[in-house]
Amino acid sequence: MDPLRQSPSPSSSRASSPRTFSCERLGYVGIEAVLDQLKIKAMKMGFEFNIMVVGQSGLGKSTMVNTLFKSKIWKSTMPGLRVPMPQTLQLHSVTHVIEENGVKLKLTVTDTPGFGDQINNDKCWDPVLGYINEQYERYLQEEILITRQRHIPDTRVHCCVYFVPPTGHCLRPLDLEFLQRLCRAVNVVPVIARADSLTIEEREAFRHRIQDDLKTHSIEVYPQKSFDEDINDKILNSKIRERIPFAVVGADREHMVNGRCVLGRKTKWGIIEVENMAHCEFPLLRDLLIRSHLQDLKDITHNVHYENYRIIRLKESHALPRGPGWVNLAPTQSPTPTGTRASPGPGKVCRWAEDDSDEDF
């Protein structure tokens, strides 16, 4: 190509319009400036990210979220503090807008206190699945309106972080049931919680056993093998897949180590540094969720999981639910749509839609 071409420096946030270049250079069209335009637009709009944390109480979920986003999203509950154990599984979400270098992120974290804490934990995954499907439904309803909003508020869960207790043995039946069901509906990232109770050898053995269990039960966790688009993705994701589940430790207190201020847990025998790769794999989790794969998580949620949900809903009713501005999306050759009125026949579908719209107005 043209040897004189120069790409704009990556750190410049100002859009360099083609006019500032010597656009009179031969062979230069200026398509690459689209990237800058996208960037400005994205920064203006801000990003949304919805994350759900699932796991038994005391596994450090709240602390992990605080550590991930370096903010006090939740008031992390200390062990031993009087926390009333909820009798049924309740979900509650918290939304924060955090900003870094001009980039705004609207972060919603959904917690699931009471998961797996009862004596009988049968069907404790139902409220979680219900919540996820509810968000899909909400988005679907917005999408099928005639006059849609320009930017549909996205409350769909982009990522579900599942905390596996560090038993050192293998996945428990509860873990397996939950993962099997949820992997089909949402991106699941399993992590080994409170990994400071495992030595390095125990950690590796545990990890391998979990990977074997996941393979045996055909549970596809994020990053899913079937969604790798090209060879680069494959290589990158394979590296990540080797280390899943990450062994993480969360901490929101700072201590002084060798003159540096680090996040960590201080014990009598040493300080566990959260961001030290030799101690735990928290940096890998953070990079996956935020620095490298955040957009990918959202894309897969939108293109795969949401579409699956939509297809199921379509199949269920042969038409989408009748909301305001209901439109019959069923193909014209479809048989009798469900409803109390007798079908006038396939040829009359359009008229039927008109009739209905008369009814609505």
Partner 1 sequence: MVRLLIDETSSTSLVKMSKQQPAQFINPETPGYVGFANLPNQVHRKSVKKGFEFTLMVVGESGLGKSTLINSLFLTDLYPERVIPGAAEKIERTVQIEASTVEIEERGVKLRLTVVDTPGYGDAINCRDCFKTIICYIDEQFERYLHDESGLNRRHIVDNRVHCCFYFISPFGHGLKPLDVAFMKAIHNKVNIVPVIAKADTLTLKERERLKKRILDEIEEHSIKIYHLPDAESDEDEDFKEQTRLLKASIPFSVVGSNQLIEAKGKKVRGRLYPWGVVEVENPEHNDFLKLRTMLITHMQDLQEVTQDLHYENFRSERLKRGGRKVENEDMNKDQILLEKEAELRRMQEMIARMQAQMQLQLQGGDGDGGVHGHHV
Which range, of 57-65, 91-99, 228-236, 335-343, touches partner 1 by CB under 8 A?
57-65
Measured CA to CA, the distance from residue 92 to residue 89 in angstroms comes to 10
Which range, of 13-21, 41-49, 205-213, 351-359, touches partner 1 by CB under 8 A?
205-213
Residue with tokens 């109390």: 340
Site for partner 1 contains 118 (CB under 8 A): yes
Measured CA to CA, the distance from residue 142 to residue 136 in angstroms comes to 10
Which range, of 76-84, 91-99, 151-159, 323-331, touches partner 1 by CB under 8 A?
76-84
Measured CA to CA, the distance from residue 55 to residue 192 in angstroms comes to 10
Site for partner 1 contains 355 (CB under 8 A): no
For residue 267, the minimal CB distance to partner 1 (Å) is 5
Phi, psi of 104 (to 5 degrees): -100, 135
Site for partner 1 contains 173 (CB under 8 A): yes
For residue 78, the minimal CB distance to partner 1 (Å) is 6
Eight-class DSSP state of 165: P
Question: In the complex with partner 1, which residue's Cβ is closer, 144 or 192?
Answer: 192
Site for partner 1 contains 172 (CB under 8 A): yes
For residue 248, the minimal CB distance to partner 1 (Å) is 13
Surface-to-core class of residue 177, CB atoms within 10 Å of its CB (0-12 exposed, 13-18 middle, 19+ buried): middle
C-alpha separations of 180 from 40, 91, 129, 164, 259 in Å: 40, 20, 12, 14, 46
Question: In the complex with partner 1, which residue's Cβ is closer, 4 or 200?
Answer: 200
Site for partner 1 contains 194 (CB under 8 A): yes
Surface-to-core class of residue 53, CB atoms within 10 Å of its CB (0-12 exposed, 13-18 middle, 19+ buried): buried
Site for partner 1 contains 168 (CB under 8 A): yes
Measured CA to CA, the distance from residue 113 to residue 99 in angstroms comes to 28
For residue 83, the minimal CB distance to partner 1 (Å) is 5
Binding mask 266-295 for partner 1 (x = CB under 8 A): xxxxxxxx----xx----------------
Which position among 111, 196, 252, 296 is part of the footprint of partner 1 (CB under 8 A)?
Answer: 196
Pairing relationship of beta strands 103-111 and 92-100 according to DSSP bridges? antiparallel
For residue 113, the minimal CB distance to partner 1 (Å) is 10
Which range, of 73-81, 128-136, 310-318, 319-327, touches partner 1 by CB under 8 A?
73-81
Measured CA to CA, the distance from residue 204 to residue 206 in angstroms comes to 5
Measured CA to CA, the distance from residue 135 to residue 193 in angstroms comes to 27
For residue 59, the minimal CB distance to partner 1 (Å) is 6
What three-state secondary structure class fits 359?
A: helix
Question: In the complex with partner 1, which residue's Cβ is closer, 6 or 199?
Answer: 199
Site for partner 1 contains 261 (CB under 8 A): no
Measured CA to CA, the distance from residue 121 to residue 88 in angstroms comes to 10
Element (H, E) at 191: strand 188-192
Contacts to partner 1 by CB under 8 A: 56-60, 77-83, 85, 117-122, 165-177, 193-194, 196-197, 199-200, 209, 212-213, 216-217, 265-273, 278-279
